[in-house]
């Protein structure tokens, strides 16, 4: 479903050496699969997602979605890809000024199926996300955790085949984080959605089918100086051991 091939993106630093934010990343997310990309702050996670969302073009490499290279789309094609094919839970929390929870969550559906139907269709997901009591509240007056869940409902609303999540539990307490991660995993399995979740929270990786570790823009190999990341992450879930050692964690694990 999603294939990244040798993806490279530099950021200018205003005079100094450009930062290689994404440095030769190749990976894959299959339909119905939840893949976590775990890395510390500054490791290139958000940059990688903006490349997959076709918001930014890579310096080299390809982003294949169902075999189509979305890194070479025109602006209009990229906007249509984001509207119809992609769900992107980003960290910007862009709200409709003065809009209520339903309206904010239904924004994409307004464009694809119209306002009335959009408002109707988005409500059950908001309820699943624990916002049933808040449907008519102004979204810009909600707590950050509630806003984050409105953004999750918006990203899921169009039933995208590819879902990107940038620290989707960053503003949630432990219990709510668990619920949201379980919900994301469930929805992806139900719908056959490919989910790429980036996080610096080791707990979040435990929900993924597979985990990659990103360090300084590169997928980490087994190495002696992996530092405290490796044991801390490896202890969390059997899937991680495979990601870090490069070997499947169980004999039945699919080849990668």
Give the interface with ligand ADP as residue ranges (CB under 6 A).
11, 19, 21, 39, 41-47
Nearer to Mg ion, 33 or 166 (CB): 166
- Is 40 in a helix, a strand, or coil? coil
Write the secondary structure of 108-176 as one string of H (helix), E (strand) and C (coil): HHHHHCCHHHHHHHHHHHHHHCCCHHHCCCEHHHCCHHHHHHHHHHHHHHCCCCEEEEECCCCCCCHHH
CB of 10 to ligand ADP, least distance (A): 9
- The C-alpha atoms of residue 153 and residue 199 are separated, in whole angstroms, by 19
Which among ligand ADP, Mg ion, none contacts residue 42 (Cβ within 5 to 8 A by kind)? ligand ADP
CB of 252 to ligand ADP, least distance (A): 32
Nearer to Mg ion, 42 or 145 (CB): 42
CB of 106 to Mg ion, least distance (A): 27
Which among ligand ADP, Mg ion, none contacts residue 21 (Cβ within 5 to 8 A by kind)? ligand ADP
- The C-alpha atoms of residue 185 and residue 169 are separated, in whole angstroms, by 13
CB of 192 to ligand ADP, least distance (A): 27
Pairing of strands 60-65, 68-69: antiparallel
Which among ligand ADP, Mg ion, none contacts residue 118 (Cβ within 5 to 8 A by kind)? none
Strand partners, 60: 8
Nearer to ligand ADP, 22 or 109 (CB): 22
CB of 4 to ligand ADP, least distance (A): 14
Binding site for Mg ion (CB under 5 A): 45-46
Nearer to ligand ADP, 52 or 107 (CB): 52
- The C-alpha atoms of residue 237 and residue 207 are separated, in whole angstroms, by 8
Residue recorded with tokens 């307490």: 173
């Amino acid at each position: 479903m999603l294939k990244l091939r040798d993806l490279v993106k530099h950021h200018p630093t205003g005079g100094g050496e450009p930062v290689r934010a994404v440095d030769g990343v190749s990976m894959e997310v299959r339909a119905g699969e939840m893949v976590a990309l775990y890395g510390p702050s500054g490791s290139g996670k958000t940059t990688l997602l903006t490349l997959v969302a076709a918001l930014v073009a890579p310096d080299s490499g390809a982003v294949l979605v169902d075999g189509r290279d979305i890194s070479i789309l025109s602006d209009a094609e990229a906007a249509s890809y984001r509207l119809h094919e992609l769900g992107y839970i980003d960290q910007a929390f862009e709200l409709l000024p003065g809009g209520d929870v339903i309206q904010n969550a239904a924004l994409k559906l307004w464009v694809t199926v119209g306002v009335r139907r959009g408002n109707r269709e988005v409500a059950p997901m908001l309820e699943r996300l624990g916002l049933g009591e808040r449907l008519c509240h102004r979204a810009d007056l909600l707590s950050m955790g509630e806003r984050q869940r409105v953004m999750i409902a918006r990203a899921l609303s169009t039933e995208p085949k590819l879902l990107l999540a940038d620290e989707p539990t960053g503003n949630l307490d432990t219990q709510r984080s668990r619920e949201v991660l379980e919900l994301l995993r469930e929805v992806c399995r139900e719908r056959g959605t490919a989910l790429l979740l980036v996080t610096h929270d080791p707990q979040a990786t435990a929900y993924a089918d597979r985990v990659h570790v990103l360090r300084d823009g590169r997928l980490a190999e087994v190495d002696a100086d992996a530092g405290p990341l490796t044991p801390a992450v490896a202890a969390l879930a059997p899937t991680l051991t495979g990601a870090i050692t490069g070997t499947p964690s169980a004999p039945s694990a699919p080849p990668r």
